[in-house]
């Protein structure tokens, strides 16, 4: 698919791209919606097979952020930034990486405050300190730089809240002994493991990084190869790595009772959600379950909430999911469709489809 195909088939507001010969980096900023306020979403950094793939990722993630902000009832729209690197991040010299962040900040400043960024896959609070230092709007700066720090703990807390609510929906009232399969042991996934471990859950985990797997094993988790996790029998499958994990074929065969994770766009399409519903598998839509990070960043840095107020709003993810589950039962629709309808209503466009 070409960049032209991606953009002409997208329902968002704006896509801005830039290629820099000096650094070899390709930049994308996608603004999906500003209906509830300035667009917001993290900066994802990785290598892509093509620039079209980078644009595709940015546009899909921006749309997901619109849903996430609406589902969490936050006063921001949806956007996303992607930086396609010429080499793995670990191979870039510090000055090379800093120049890329400087260029990224330049790009954001041209948008005049219509898009605010933050940390995402491949970026950190320290990176947001640099971006903000160059004059661009950025959430998630370190506390030392006046920000609210990492959103990962709040994201993980929201996923844990969603796991508890989803488990209850399938008749599991106590996570002790509950089999939870976690895919991805980054900052969020590992925190989910820690929280579920305290509940006494039986954890089956995987990651491409053996060091992270060893750390999880030391916590008592059962480690399986990355290509085996989708075949594991579990009560809850928690995808906390990249999106696009569940297509129709996986939805037909996955051996779990509930899908609850932090990965954005975990379904390849709505048909996968329909198949999960047909099989009676509970889905906590990712744009609801992973909303804790956005609640933390916007709550602390825009709305002036205390840490306690943020935690209360993150716990409210359970109420949103319960509403989604009721809508699904009453309407005879999938959990994915029910959550999208709820987000549409909060966007003031009931009957549309984001």
Residues annotated within the binding site for NAD(+) are 184-189
Say what angle helices 152-169 and 307-315 make with each other, to 10 degrees: 30
Does the active-site annotation cover 80? Answer: yes
Alpha helices of 199-316 — where are they, by DSSP H?
210-218, 248-253, 270-278, 286-289, 292-301, 307-315
CA dihedral 212, 285, 40, 354 (to 10 degrees): 140
Summarize the annotated binding site as residue ranges: 184-189
Name residues whose C-beta falls within 8 Å of residue 333's C-beta, 6 or more positions apart in sequence. Answer: 277, 327, 341
Whether the CB-CB separation of 32 and 66 falls below 8 Å is answered with: yes
First to last CA, the chain: 21
Task: Give bridge partners of residue 117 from the DSSP assignment.
Answer: 138
Whether the CB-CB separation of 46 and 121 falls below 8 Å is answered with: yes
Residue 76, by phi and psi: left (phi above 0), alpha (psi -120 to 50) or beta? beta
Rounded Cα gap, residues 116 and 139, in angstroms: 7
The one catalytic residue in 68, 80, 109, 198 is 80
- Relative to beta strand 236-239, strand 258-260 is parallel
Name residues whose C-beta falls within 8 Å of residue 27's C-beta, 6 or more positions apart in sequence. Answer: 16, 17, 18, 19, 20, 81, 82, 83, 84, 103, 104, 107
Among all residues, which ones are annotated catalytic?
80
């Amino acid at each position: 698919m070409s960049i032209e195909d991606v953009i002409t088939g997208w329902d968002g507001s704006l896509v801005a791209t830039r290629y820099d010969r000096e650094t070899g980096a390709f930049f994308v900023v996608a603004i999906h919606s500003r209906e509830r306020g300035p667009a917001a979403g993290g900066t994802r950094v990785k290598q892509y097979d093509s620039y079209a793939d980078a644009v595709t990722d940015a546009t899909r993630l921006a749309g997901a952020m619109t849903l996430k902000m609406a589902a969490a009832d936050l006063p921001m729209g949806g956007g996303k930034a992607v930086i396609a690197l010429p080499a793995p991040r670990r191979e870039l010299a510090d000055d090379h990486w800093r120049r890329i962040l400087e260029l990224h900040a330049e790009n954001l400043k041209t948008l005049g405050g219509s898009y605010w960024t933050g940390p995402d896959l491949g970026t950190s609070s320290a990176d947001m300190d640099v971006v903000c230092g160059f004059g661009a709007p950025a959430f998630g700066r370190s506390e030392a730089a006046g920000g609210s720090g990492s959103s990962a703990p709040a994201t993980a807390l929201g996923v844990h809240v969603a796991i508890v609510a989803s488990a209850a929906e399938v008749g599991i009232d106590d996570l002790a002994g509950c089999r939870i399969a976690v895919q991805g042991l980054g900052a969020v996934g590992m925190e989910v493991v820690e929280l579920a471990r305290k509940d006494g859950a039986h954890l089956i985990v995987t990651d491409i990084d053996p060091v992270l797997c060893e750390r999880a094993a030391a916590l008592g988790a059962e480690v399986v190869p990355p290509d085996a996790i989708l075949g594991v029998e579990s009560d809850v499958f928690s995808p906390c790595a990249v999106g696009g994990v569940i297509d129709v074929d996986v939805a037909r065969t996955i051996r779990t009772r509930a899908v609850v994770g932090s990965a954005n766009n975990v379904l390849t399409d709505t048909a996968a959600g329909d198949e999960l519903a047909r099989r009676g598998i509970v889905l906590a839509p990712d744009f609801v379950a992973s909303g804790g990070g956005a609640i933390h960043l916007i709550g602390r840095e825009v709305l002036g909430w205390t840490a306690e107020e943020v935690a209360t709003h993150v716990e409210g993810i359970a109420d949103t999911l319960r509403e989604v589950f009721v809508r699904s039962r009453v309407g005879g629709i999938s959990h994915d469709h029910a959550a999208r309808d709820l987000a549409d209503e909060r966007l003031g466009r009931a009957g549309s489809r984001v």
